[in-house]
Structures are given as structure tokens and as C-alpha cells.
Chains A and B, each alone.
Chain A
Amino acid sequence: MKSLFKVFMCIALIGFVALQGCKPKGVQASAGGDASKAYVAPGKYDEFYDFVSGGFSGQMAVYGLPSGRLLRVIPVFSVDPEKGYGYSEETKPMLNTSHGFVPWDDLHHIALSETDGIQDGRWVFGNGNNTPRIARIDLKTFRTAEIIEIPNSAGNHSSPFITENSEYVIAGTRFSIPMDNTNGDVAINTYKQNFKGTVSFISVDKTSGRLGIAFQILTPGINFDLARAGKGKSHGWMFFSCYNSEKANTLLEVNASQKDKDFIMAVNWKKAEEYVKAGKGTKKAVKFAHNIYDENKHMASSEIENEVLMLDPKDCPDMVYFMPCPKSPHGCDTDPTGEYIVGSGKLAAVIPVFSFTKIQKAIADKTYDGEYDGIPVLKYEAVLYGEVQKPGLGPLHTEFDANGNAYTSFFISSEIVKWRLSDLKVLDRVPTYYSVGHLSVPGGPTKKPWGKYVIAYNKITKDRYLPTGPELAQSAQIYDISGDKMKLILDFPTIGEPHYAEAIPADILMKNSQKIYKIEDNQNPWVAKGDKYARVERKGNEVHVYITAIRSHFNPDNIEGVKLGDIVYFHVTNLEQDWDIPHGFAVKGANNAELLIMPGETQTLAWKPDRTGVFPIYCTDFCSALHQEMQGYIRVSIAGSNVPIAFSMGKTQPIDSNVVNK
């Protein structure tokens, strides 16, 4: 008997060991992680592309979901030496602003282009938060195609949020400031008289994606935090969360938390369009940069524009309304039907849900609760659908699935809470590690959420990964939401600091992804479309090297005749017409960076030699079996030297050109 018992115990033990063997290593039992759901086998693709803001890195990162694998970092508002972005002569203009070249900004939010409220996979937009700008990234090439600066704005936080047919990308100012066309040299404590806010409506050309500031709306001197477009029944409206209705200009931590309620600002932009047509706008003198990357020229240009059209709600009745919203609202999210607008007061004990139908009725019935700076304030109770009671502490952002559920992130209680729109009941809650900021459901801000996962973008990492000194990678967490209960399935680190992110099904994007640039379409003025065009030309103290790169040599690779005081422009054309065969280019002592040149592309590195000698050049991107042979020399002689310009590849120069300078 005893012996039989032992046998059973052994069997049970072996079974247990065998099951343990199944578990992926490192999954913590306490988190209930089911990493197999995030496992994408070698050679298989992820289901979703996830576009994640890089926060203070100024870039945008692309991850695969559910694996959390990093696929690409797209340089947007910061220089990126890895790709030569902001270093090559062709890309420098992308970072030009009315303040000059800005090499580093802060990218917070993501907006994927939409058609009829559904992600269409054409472009993704990001905001430059510090020096206010909006960027458009082309999803064929995953490159920043355009950047437009926003005048009359400071801290471009309430941005970029997109309307359901990508009619507009909107940008609201975080800081109110004296307007650009006024004398800004005023005492800061004259805030209430002199400081104003704006929200900008940036039009997107349906075919080219080209941006333009269609109009700005002048607002009271409050702070705009986030926004969402209406959709479906509420298409034509835009909702902005606002804080600091106290109009404090110091210690906002205390002084902007005085009132019980701040606002959500509702803008009827169809009405605004009518006022623009009717000539109600005023042109304001401003200065802002507009930068465009020409895909055929492989070159950016930057122009300064001088005018913006401003609508003042004083002259445009029925265009702007305020809705009271408890305690410094942060997130302001519209559900897939467009009926519900969810406000999230950072300091609020409830989540108010507003009804678009009730908003329309309150406006029609003029159910006002007074005015704020001449703008009607709708009565809270008249526009409220209901409040989610005791949801958690510090609600921030809300996303939606396709089944009528909402998911709200809570910074202070460090959790995601799932609740139901129909009855505002809390259904489930899961902890995040730690202190979640934004969260994202694939398609969550659109009319058609794809669901399946919710991803938490956490602000605090602490002990989540192996420690790496005082600075830690930020942590993102992916939860399976296909069942009733949310289940954590994977942690993954991110670059910079992830704020908002948007995910889109892989099959919408991957079929459009470009493999090469066709060399015959290359219109770069400095292109060399083949060996016969490879050359070196002197123009005054500029030396232009038209250099080609193909496995596994540069042409020319022996260059002489450069003199101290010259600026050498290496115009490198990658002649390859083969997917994933970039070449790199570096010259010893270059003070800016290197180049990375895609197949069929031309990029230029400017180099000012600081001494005489012979300097090596080489390919920095492992391109082929003979990558290490892909090298050459450039000779720099003294100023006034008589060494003539000479260049070659595959031949040794006649000895008489090797005259030593005297």
C-alpha cells in the first residue's frame, strides 16, 4: 500500500516536472503570464505593427505585436546618427524651424491616418512637443516625409489627433502665451490679460498627404492637454481636454487645482469651415517652417511661411462650447460609435462619460451654466451620460474594444480597468508594472477597434528588468483581452519614453512597403547614375565628389587635389537595386556623422578637413563578403598646393601626380 502510494507520488511529481518544463523561462507565476500567446515563431510575422512614441528621444519606434520585437526606429524630431538623419545635407532641412536647426525634440502622440474612421495605413503623424511641430511619416518607406511648425503655440501637447477621413490633424497648445504677432515682452504676471491659447486645424491633402495650417481658433488662456475627434454621429466635432481654467502662471501643481471642475472644449469644426468660407478669419503675421522631403530628389527643403488664418469665437457664435469636467482632465476619448466622450480628471474620483446626443440637445436648448471668457459653458448634468464610480486612482486615458467595453489607465493605482459603456460597471482590473500612462488597443481610437490586446505604456520601470544603472529602459506590457479577464502575456522594453501608441494590422501595411528606390527615378541634383558619372569637381573652395557605391567598391576610391580650407561634399549614390543592401559612408575625422544610403538613393556628407594627410573612406554597413575591401583614400594637401584634382578607381595614378607638397 505504502509502496503504491509512493508510485503515485512519483508519477504526480514527474508530471509536475514535465509541465514545468513546458513553461517559458522567466515567466513569473504571480503575473499569470502566458508568454506562449506572445510567441511568434522564427520566420513568422507579427499580427500588428505598433507605432510607439519615443517621448524625449524625439523619435517613433515600430514594434511587432504580440512579440514586442523592435522592428524600426523612425527618426522624426531628433537627429539620428545611425541613419545620418539630420546629419546628411539632404536631411538637415527637416529639422529646420523658425528658431533655426533644432536637433532634439520630444514626440508624445501618434495618429494613424483614417478613411471613414478606419485606419488606412497611409501615414502616421507625430507631434513635436517642445518646439511645436507636426510630422507626417510615409508608411511606404517608414520615413519622415514632412514637418510643419505650429505658430502661436508652445508645448504642442494636445496633438496630433485626426478626424475620421484625415481631413485634419489637430494641434492644441499646452501653454498659453502672448500671440506671436503681439509684443511678447510682457510681465509674466499679466497672464490673464496677455496670454491666449490656440488650437490649430492642419489640413491633409487627400492624395499627397501635404499639410497646411487651414486655420487656428483663438481660445482663452488655458492649457490644452489631449483631444479626440468625433466620429460617426459626432463627425465634424473635436473635443479637447483643458486644465488650468484658473489661469495660473506659477506653481500650477497647486494653483491649477483650485476649481472643482475644468473643461472639455467642444469645437464644431464644420461650423468653423463655414466661418472660414464666409471670411470671418483674420490673417495673422507669424513665422513657421514647413519642411518637405522629396522622395525622388532624396532631399528635403525648408520654407518659412508668414501667415496664418485665425478664427476668434467672439466673431463665430455656435462654434466653441465648454463642458465642465472634474479636476484637471487629461484623456478625452470618444468611443467607436461617436456617442460617448470619456473625460479623465487626473485628480478625479469618477470617470465622467458625456453623451453627444445630450450635448446637441443642451446646445439647442441653451442649457448653459454661464460663460467662460464669452464662450458658453454647457450644464454638466445636461450633457452627462453618467459617471463610472470608484474606478481607481488617477484616471488618464481610455481606449475601446469592438464589444462595447472601455479600458482606462490609472497612474496612481497603477492598473488598467475594464468597464462597460452601456451600464458604466467596472468588469475587471489588472495591475501594471508600474504606473501606467497611455494605453492602447489596436484600432482603439477608431470606429473599428481590432481588439485582442491592450498595451500598457508604463512610466516607472524600477525592478522590472535587469538593472542598468540609474537609467532604465521603459516598460511596456501587453495583455490579452480576448476573454472576460485581461491577462498579462509579455513585458517588453521601449526606446525613449513611450507616450501614446497606435497599432494596425500587419496586412494593411506590409503589402505597401517599399523595397528599393529606382535609380532611374533618382532626381537628386548630385546623383551619379553609374560609373561614367563618377567624378570630382572643384568649384572655388568646394570640392564635389560624385561617388558611386556598389558591392564592393566606391568609384572613385582614390581622390587627390583637396586642399586645406576646402569643404568636400561627398555625394554618394548607392547603385544597388536590391532590397536590404544599403551602403554606409564614413571619412576619418568627419565632425558631423556618417551616411547610410538606401539602394538607389543619393546622400551627401559635408567634410571640412582640418589637417593635411591621407584620409581613409569606407563602407560602414556590412554589405557583402567583400565589405571590408570597400574602402579608399582621399588626400588633403596644404592650402595653395599645386596637386591637381585627380580621381580613379582600379588604377594606380602615374607617379608624377604624387608630388610631395613643398
Chain B
Amino acid sequence: MNNIFQKAVIITATVFLLACNNTTTESKTDSATAETSSNAGQANVKDDASMKDIVKIAIGSADHTTLISALQQAELVDVLANPGPFTVFAPTNAAFDKLPVGTVDGLMKPEKKTDLQNILQYHVTTSSLKADFFTDGMTIGMVNGGTVTVSVKDGKIVLNNSATIVASIPASNGMVHVIDGVLLPK
């Protein structure tokens, strides 16, 4: 008896709750237009009028496909579409290729996500630094908590004595400095 009662209760409650869910789904379709805004994240905001943000610039560059894959794997794409402002040191595909064989593939494994995030966040600082803001010997605090040391010699800006800025591109939410080496956190 008790058992039957319990079953009846569960079935009834389930039926009513299901009915409830159906109502909600229908009313949603009824009351809103087909257009949806940006539940997908800030990087997916439809906007062809504004200047390109850092994410759009990187996506548009054939030399940065490795960086984009890494940013996606590290779930940093929406972050870099945020108002920032950011300065991103963006290693080229060739820069990633200079790392020991297998390094990038290793970092792309799910269990290495934290390491990948650490390395990528070492390439980002939260202020918009134009090339002429850099001075010899200055240090920059990076998002991962580490610092990068700048040297300026003969007009060449070198980071950590290992990566040179080869191009600088203004973005709507900061600056992208293309570099020819990957910065490795100490």
C-alpha cells in the first residue's frame, strides 16, 4: 500500500511538473522574437560597425592560427573580447614552431589546460600599451601574475631577451603586438 502510494505520488508530481515545463517552453516561443542576443559570449556579439577587437584581429590573421586554437582550448576567447583594455603579445605560428617538438600538442591536452592558461595569460596585460610607451628596462605585470622585462635597443623592442615585437596593431579594446617568440613564465 505504502509502496503504491509512493509511486502514485512520484508519477503525479512528474506529470504535473512536465506539464509545467511544456507551458514554459511554449510561452517562450510565443513571447519573444526569433532574434537572440549574445548568450554565446561577448566574442559573438554581431557588430560589423565597430573597429575590430583583439579576438577579431587574431582570427583574421593567417599567422596566428595556433594562438587562436590555444586561446579556444584555454577558454580565453570571450575574455579578450571584453572591454579590457589589453595589450596582447601575440606569438606567430612560426614562434610556436620554435618550441621543442610536441610542446604545443602537449599543452593542448585537457589535463594541461591550467598550464596552457598560465602561458597564454603571461602574454596579456590589462592596459593598452602602444609601442612608444615601452622604455628600456621597464617591467610589465602580466595577467598570470608574472612580469615581462622590456629592452629597447636600436628601435627594436625585445621582451625577456627572447621575443621581438615585429608588428603592432591597434584594436578596439587595446593593442596587439606580434612577437616572434613564445614567452615562457619563469
Task: List residues of chain A with CB under 8 Å of any chain B CB.
Answer: 3, 7, 10-11, 14-15, 18-19, 21-22, 36-47, 66, 506-507, 510, 514-516, 550-552, 576-579, 581, 599, 623-626, 629, 650
Contact = CB atoms under 8 A, between A and B. Distances in A.
Q: Across chains A and B, which 9 residue pairs bring their CB atoms closest together, nearest first?
A: A18-B16, A43-B39, A578-B172, A36-B27, A577-B51, A551-B85, A44-B32, A22-B20, A515-B49
A19 B23 CA distance: 11
Contacts of A19: 16, 19-20
B23 A36 contact: yes
B154 to A, nearest CB: 23
Given A551-B128, A552-B128, A578-B172, A516 B50 contact: yes
A33 to B, nearest CB: 13
Given A14-B12, A551-B83, A506 B31 contact: no
Contact of B13 (A14, A599, A629): A14
B50 A552 contact: no
A416 to B, nearest CB: 21
Interface of B: 1, 4-5, 8-9, 12-13, 15-17, 19-20, 23-24, 27-28, 30-33, 35-39, 45, 47, 49-51, 53, 82-85, 126-128, 133, 172-174
B39 A624 contact: no
A37 B1 contact: no
Contacts of B38: 43
A11 B127 contact: no
Contacts of B174: 551
Given A581-B83, A625-B126, 11 more contacts: A14-B16, A15-B15, A39-B31, A66-B31, A507-B33, A514-B49, A552-B128, A578-B172, A579-B47, A579-B49, A624-B173
A579 B50 CA distance: 6
B85 A626 contact: yes
B150 to A, nearest CB: 15
Contacts of B84: 551, 624-625
Contacts of A514: 49
Contacts of B15: 15
Main secondary structure of the interface of A (DSSP, over half): loop
B33 A47 contact: yes
8 contacts: A7-B4, A10-B9, A15-B13, A36-B23, A46-B32, A506-B35, A551-B83, A626-B126
Contacts of B45: 579
B47 A515 contact: yes
B20 A18 contact: yes
A101 B50 CA distance: 36
A57 B93 CA distance: 58
Contact of A506 (B33, B36, B82): B33
Contacts of B49: 514-516, 579
A195 B51 CA distance: 59
Contacts of A10: 5, 8-9
Nearest to B48: A515
A29 B8 CA distance: 29
A268 to B, nearest CB: 41
A479 B124 CA distance: 52
Q: Which of A44, A507, A626 has the most CB of B within 10 A?
A: A44
